[in-house]
Chains A and B, each alone.
Chain A
Amino acid sequence: MNKDKPPRFASWLLARASGPAGRANVLGDYEEIYQDLAFEQGLHAARKWYWSQVLKSLPMFITNLLFGSAAMFNNYLKLAWRNILRHKRYAFLNITGLAVGLAACLLMAGYVIHELSFESMHPLKDRIFRVNGRIPMGGQIVLNAVVAAPLGPAVEESVPEIEESVRILRRHNVPVQVENRDFKEKKMFFAEQEILEVFSVPLLRGDPRTALQAPFTVIIDETLAQKYFGDTNPYGKLIRLTLDRTYDFQVTGVMRNMPSNTVIRTPMIASFATLLQIYPQVARHWESWGNITTFVRLGKGADPTAVDAKITAIVRSHLDKDEKDASYYLQPLGRIYIENAAHGMNNDLDSSGSITRLYIFSVVALLILVIAAINFINLSTAKISGRMKEVGIRKTVGAMRSNLITQFLIESLLITAIAMGLGLVLFSLFKPRLDIYLGKTLNLGVVTTPWILPAVAAMVLVVGFLAGSYPALFLSRFQAAVIFRSGVPRGPSRAGLRRILVGIQFFIAGALIVCTLVVLKQVRYSETKDLGYNRENLIVVDNRDASRLKNASLIKRQILSRTGALAAASVDNFPSAQNRNISTIRTEDQAEGEGMIVQSLEVDADFIPTMGLKITAGRNFEERRAGDREAVLLNEIAARNLGLENPVGGLLYRGDRAYRIIGVIEDWNTNSIHSRIYPTVLFASDETATDLVIRLPQEGRQEVISRIRGVVAELLPEQIFDYAYVDDLHLRSYDEERRLASLLISFCELTVFVACLGIFGLAAYSTEQRTKEIGIRKVLGSSVAGIVILFTRNYARWVFVANILAWPAAYFAVSKWLQAFAFRTPVGFIPFILAGLITLAVALLSVIFQTMRAALANPVQSLRYE
């Protein structure tokens, strides 16, 4: 190597960048200085200088090269525009596909960013944690987002790392009365004063230091203030909330509406002091399970893992021996929303997001964009040979290669820019539909969201350059003479590249369709699976007032005798969704403190027949039978896990009380089929059961319900009649999956649509190219069918291969997704076959349409000029 020469790669770069016109001169100048430097300061310094100069100069040279002057740039734009108009069909296919892909991608990106931005508005969020319980139950650990009420103050006092604690109790569907108008609020909190400081809740009115100090005070957000009081100042006004009983609360503050991306989002916060006054026993009651969400804020630099053990030790020192296996840990605020669905958190503050869903969405969005970009590249490369002559003529009249490159790039950028503009319009149009799918309103707008426009601009550049660079570099290479002499020069297997890209598109489409079909299958399976009891015409009625008056069975008897209901039973806290009651029990042989945590249900003698459960051994409860207050029934799993072979007649202990096992029931799903069936123990309920389960007759259900309403109104005038079909409650557990399914369906439609645009364009192009061939074949006696088959065979083969390859990928994806369910539908082969048929059919339709037209044309027309 020649040592006095400047670095070869650097000078090569410089030569490319400086353009043919100034090349010799520029390179010469650089080399001259290089030589001087090498002589004066040595080779190393000279090389360094050369490189740094080249790198610093590159951007300048490139701008110089591309937009030598504004006039030239205008000229390029004009040419690009004319070319788009000349190839209207390609431009249309390109622009539509890209726009759709971009809109979908933006929507999904917006959603994903919203989900990832949870809690970002709390300035101290890295120091805020929630105390969660880890409770062993039936051989597995159950996570619980609520703890006992005394825990908060106790840990704040004795754990030095904890600066501040906030206790929150959620209430749902709370009836509110304001100036004699009735409302019902979906959600409210009871929370300690500290919530305002720890979560920096901005108050528009009221004193943030005292607003939630006194009992029976409440703060509401702007929306509620407007709804309740219109434009008048709500401060100091009274609102009436119905909890177990009705209480008057004074409005002591108005807070700004909370953003949609925080788990502590609520329109109304009442003071925690209220709870302590209504239920003084709550403040003293230690238990492993609890019902209070407790947040703590740690001091600066405190180690959260060290705090876990301290909290656990404090709780254990207050608990009975047999509950000591529960432990506690701190969950960072920022992770609550994203993590909880995957971890199966119980009693969470809000429906939680799921990282799985985020992955699914981001991947799908990206795939759609990939498909759209592939279309663009495919159609542009297909067009190449059609524009060979144009290139030849341009070169003949003196265009330089750099001019041609610039022109192709600008054309490609222009198409992308138009597509992106259209994409933004589509985005705005479909944003409301996304909100409906997700069940929440995202703060997303083309102008209001700061990242959207820069992101779109970046996408224009990337997609535009990528798609434009191939034709630009490829086409501009040939000499005019070569082009005119031999027609279209052969490129590096362009058709092969296109086929592979089409294959990728249909690979994605096929895999997506398989996934969607399996998700749909699982949703159907969830909705129709036999849960072990008959849930048809079964309703749950809120009976809280009766439980307060301790006459749950009176109202049940009245309903049975007067309304035409087939059966009715009292049950305390009817389990649904994630809501279950827990107890610790042990057998005679187990020492105190060993025991097992089980799901407990307090029910009366009518529960088993009303629900349609099957007793496999022993007997049901009998009303008024002496000793049945201390009797229990087990489900089969509980009997098995406790190691009881002949459970009937044995004894179980809950705390120090003994219960006689009188029967065993076949297992049934008390909750959704996401979770497996827990070991369950039925205890005898007393008059304080909070719910009634009622079986309605098949005919005239509405009349029966209105008669039940009458009975409730008569006996419990203060009770608000609230009921739900058990079937609906059950179906609601799969809302998330149904939402996913409907979104996936839309995405499938999009991908298939965009992929079809692509294959349609390609087929159109290749038939156009081969018009003469078709004409000759027809003249020589080929049939229309023969020609169509000849032309479609290739596409069919590629789509077919793409599908086969998509199968294992899709299988892997859906198996992962199905793991969220304890009970899952077999994947089966039908989704795969179906996906293959769908993609094949759609692809062939778009191809055959084109080839048919060409094949039916009269050969005279295509051959006339030869």
Chain B
Amino acid sequence: MELLTRLEEAILISVIKLGEDAYGVPINREVSRIFGKAYTMGGLYFALDQLVRKEYLMKRSADPTPKRGGRSRAYYRLTPEGKEALEATRRHQVRLWKTIPEFKNGN
């Protein structure tokens, strides 16, 4: 299985965290918080599309709201494959770190 990139990992985690509220704006806020810097929206969409294409995320459109200039939101939800990918990435991380004795105990 292909490993996730740092950004993809952050996005998937944000989507889990946000639960029902996972659409563009809050996802961006979460990701920005994770990386500690403002993340460009455009960069995010590319990654989101990529994740949808890989079927790690599901995308669904909701009703338009007036605040958004009458435009609909796209909500995202993690798929089982996405969850699997996220876990695989984490397992890989742990295994990788364990190869160095000093970090063996998860420091």
**Given A22-B49, A33-B25, does the pair A57, B73 have CB atoms closer than 8 Å?**
no
Q: Please measure, in the bound complex, the distance between the C-alpha atom of A61 and the C-alpha atom of B64, giving whole angstroms.
A: 23
Establish whether residues A22 and B74, one from each chain, have CB atoms under 8 Å apart when the complex forms.
yes
Chain B proximity of A424: nearest CB distance (Å): 34
Chain A proximity of B86: nearest CB distance (Å): 22
In chain A, residues 27-49, which have Cβ atoms closer than 8 Å to a Cβ of chain B? 27-33, 35
Establish whether residues A26 and B24, one from each chain, have CB atoms under 8 Å apart when the complex forms.
yes
Q: Which of A18, A29, A35 has the most CB of B within 10 A?
A: A29
Establish whether residues A61 and B72, one from each chain, have CB atoms under 8 Å apart when the complex forms.
no
Residues of B within 8 A of A32 (CB): 24-25, 67-68
**Given A25-B24, A60-B46, does the pair A53, B41 have CB atoms closer than 8 Å?**
yes
Chain A: interface residue total (CB-CB under 8 A): 26
Residues of A within 8 A of B42 (CB): 53-54, 56-58, 60-61
Q: Please measure, in the bound complex, the distance between the C-alpha atom of A56 and the C-alpha atom of B46, giving whole angstroms.
A: 13
Chain A proximity of B34: nearest CB distance (Å): 18
Chain B proximity of A53: nearest CB distance (Å): 5
- Determine chain B's interface SS by DSSP, over half rule: helix
Q: Which of A25, A31, A53 has the most CB of B within 10 A?
A: A25
Among residues of B, the one whose C-beta sits closest to the C-beta of A59 is B42
- Provide the B3-46 mask, 1 if CB < 8 A to any CB of A, else 0: 00000000000000000000111001000000000001111011
**Given A18-B45, A60-B42, A64-B46, does the pair A24, B71 have CB atoms closer than 8 Å?**
yes
Chain A proximity of B15: nearest CB distance (Å): 14
Chain A proximity of B51: nearest CB distance (Å): 13
Residues of B within 8 A of A54 (CB): 42
Residues of B within 8 A of A29 (CB): 23-25, 28, 41, 68, 73
Decide yes or no whether A433 CB sits under 8 A from chain B: no
Establish whether residues A27 and B71, one from each chain, have CB atoms under 8 Å apart when the complex forms.
yes
Decide yes or no whether A69 CB sits under 8 A from chain B: yes
Establish whether residues A24 and B46, one from each chain, have CB atoms under 8 Å apart when the complex forms.
no
Residues of A within 8 A of B73 (CB): 25, 28-29
Q: Please measure, in the bound complex, the distance between the C-alpha atom of A27 and the C-alpha atom of B73, giving whole angstroms.
A: 9
Decide yes or no whether A89 CB sits under 8 A from chain B: no
Decide yes or no whether A5 CB sits under 8 A from chain B: yes
- Provide the A12-24 mask, 1 if CB < 8 A to any CB of B, else 0: 0000001000101
When the two chains form the complex, which single residue of A28, A56, A63 contacts B68, counting CB atoms closer than 8 Å? A28
- Determine chain A's interface SS by DSSP, over half rule: helix
Establish whether residues A60 and B43, one from each chain, have CB atoms under 8 Å apart when the complex forms.
yes
Establish whether residues B67 and A69, one from each chain, have CB atoms under 8 Å apart when the complex forms.
no
**Given A22-B49, A61-B45, A64-B46, does the pair A31, B40 have CB atoms closer than 8 Å?**
no
Decide yes or no whether B69 CB sits under 8 A from chain A: yes
Establish whether residues A57 and B69, one from each chain, have CB atoms under 8 Å apart when the complex forms.
no
- Provide the B62-89 mask, 1 if CB < 8 A to any CB of A, else 0: 0010011101111000000000000000
Establish whether residues B67 and A35, one from each chain, have CB atoms under 8 Å apart when the complex forms.
yes
Residues of A within 8 A of B91 (CB): none
- Provide the A56-82 mask, 1 if CB < 8 A to any CB of B, else 0: 111011011000110000000000000
Establish whether residues B25 and A25, one from each chain, have CB atoms under 8 Å apart when the complex forms.
no
Residues of A within 8 A of B41 (CB): 26, 29-30, 33, 53, 57
Q: Which of B24, B25, B41, B72 has the most CB of A within 10 A?
A: B41
**Given A25-B61, A64-B49, does the pair A57, B43 have CB atoms closer than 8 Å?**
yes
Establish whether residues A28 and B72, one from each chain, have CB atoms under 8 Å apart when the complex forms.
yes
Chain A proximity of B47: nearest CB distance (Å): 10
Q: Which of B23, B42, B71, B74 has the most CB of A within 10 A?
A: B42
Residues of B within 8 A of A5 (CB): 69
Chain B proximity of A17: nearest CB distance (Å): 8
Residues of B within 8 A of A64 (CB): 45-46, 49
Chain A proximity of B104: nearest CB distance (Å): 40
- Provide the A786-809 mask, 1 if CB < 8 A to any CB of B, else 0: 000000000000000000000000
Chain A proximity of B33: nearest CB distance (Å): 15
Q: Please measure, in the bound complex, the distance between the C-alpha atom of A22 and the C-alpha atom of B73, giving whole angstroms.
A: 10
Establish whether residues B49 and A31, one from each chain, have CB atoms under 8 Å apart when the complex forms.
no
Residues of A within 8 A of B43 (CB): 56-57, 60
> Which residues on A are within 8 Å of B, measured CB to CB?
5-6, 18, 22, 24-33, 35, 53-54, 56-58, 60-61, 63-64, 68-69
> Which residues on B are within 8 Å of A, measured CB to CB?
23-25, 28, 40-43, 45-46, 49, 53, 61, 64, 67-69, 71-74
Q: Provide 24 A-B residue pairs closer than 8 Å at the C-beta atoms, listed in order of the A residue.
A: A22-B45, A22-B74, A25-B24, A26-B24, A27-B69, A28-B24, A28-B68, A28-B69, A28-B71, A29-B24, A29-B28, A31-B67, A31-B68, A31-B69, A32-B68, A33-B25, A35-B67, A56-B40, A56-B43, A57-B42, A61-B45, A61-B46, A64-B46, A68-B49
Given contacts A29-B23, A33-B41, 9 further A-B contacts (CB under 8 A): A25-B71, A28-B64, A29-B68, A32-B24, A35-B67, A35-B68, A60-B45, A61-B42, A64-B45
